[in-house]
Amino acid sequence: MPRILDGVAIAAAIKQEVAEEASALAARGIRPGLAAVLVGNVAASEIYVRNKVQTCADLGIFSELITPPATVTTEEMLDLVAALNRRDEIDGILIQLPLPAHVDTKALLDAIDPAKDVDGFHPVNAGRLQAGRSALVPCTPAGIIEILKRSIIPIAGQHAVIVGRSDIVGKPAAMLLLHQNATVTICHSKTRNLGEITRQADILVAAIGRPGFITAEMVKPGATLVDVGINRITERAEFERFFAGNAKREAAFAKNGSVIVGDIDPKAFELAGAYTPVPGGVGKLTIAMLMANTVRAAKMRRGI
């Protein structure tokens, strides 16, 4: 039987560690602070950001939610970022994406002080990560490493194949795995003979944003499968493709009109030595790692 890598339990352990670090800092008169900027009224983003704010409160981290209107200009947002950069009680700045089309997202992310870039998106932090130096690392890739390490999955000497080359997940995940002495291959939409490469993977990371893209035929038996995808299935035919005969998922589909599937076809998990489920896997680590980054930023900024 393949082993399920429990993202819920690992996220809870990380949050407990963060709470203990925050408490230790509080004893020294320091309270880590996170500013979350949510532009406009996007329901999914509102829920996600409020979960982050609530988690801050649970762990002893100061948080401030800033909600500019959807009509905000790039210049107004740049002024806001500059003001947050100057505030000493703010250790982390989070700008919830996506932003309205008229706002220059790249300019805003580049304007964040790299020392407060808790999403790890700033070119300075990307460069420091690539160079193997201390940096704030994107939360999802950092969570992948935590899942592997805390589950005692060997990384050094293993062939890790990443399907997806985004700046947010694929590329930083490759760097982190490389720094853990894995041999890393990055694949993408233009890769030829993709299945031949994925079948070589001891650790296969799927982050391509396409439901069930990695099929059983693309997996080496016994491999560790890390599924980063979160795709909502609403069509009955697609549901049957992935979950035919699954009573639990059938009940969820009937109740909600949708279910979540990752970038790996669930049937491929049967071949794995270990895998991260969807939901309950990598996604649960993202907020936990954001909290860890906020506390780390507070310590780094103060030379602790």
Question: d(Cα 195, Cα 101) in Å, to the nearest integer?
Answer: 36
Vertex 64: Cα angle to 85 and 56 (nearest 5): 110
Question: d(Cα 185, Cα 160) in Å, to the nearest integer?
Answer: 6
User: CB-hemisphere CA count at 13 Å for 208?
Assistant: 22
Question: d(Cα 206, Cα 180) in Å, to the nearest integer?
Answer: 19
For residue 31, how far is the Cα from the chain centroid?
A: 24
Instruction: Indicate the residue type of 283.
Output: G
Annotated catalytic, 96? yes
Question: d(Cα 274, Cα 285) in Å, to the nearest integer?
Answer: 17
- Residue 185 has a CB neighbour count (10 Å cut-off) of 16
Distances (CA, A) of 209 to 15, 99, 172: 27, 19, 16
The residue annotated as part of the active site, out of 6, 15, 91, 96, is: 96
The residue annotated as part of the active site, out of 15, 52, 116, 171, is: 52
Instruction: Indicate the residue type of 194.
Output: L
Instruction: Indicate the residue type of 181.
Output: N
> Are the CB atoms for 227 and 218 separated by under 8 Å?
no
User: CB-hemisphere CA count at 13 Å for 100?
Assistant: 15
- Mapping DSSP onto H, E and C, the string for 214-253 reads ECHHHCCCCCEEEECCCEEECCHHHHHHHHCCCHHHHHHH
The residue annotated as part of the active site, out of 6, 91, 117, 119, is: 119
Annotated catalytic, 227? no
DSSP annotation of 122: S
| The two structure tokens encoding residue 245 | 């005969």
Element (DSSP H or E) covering residue 292? helix 285-301
Residues forming the active site = 52, 96, 119
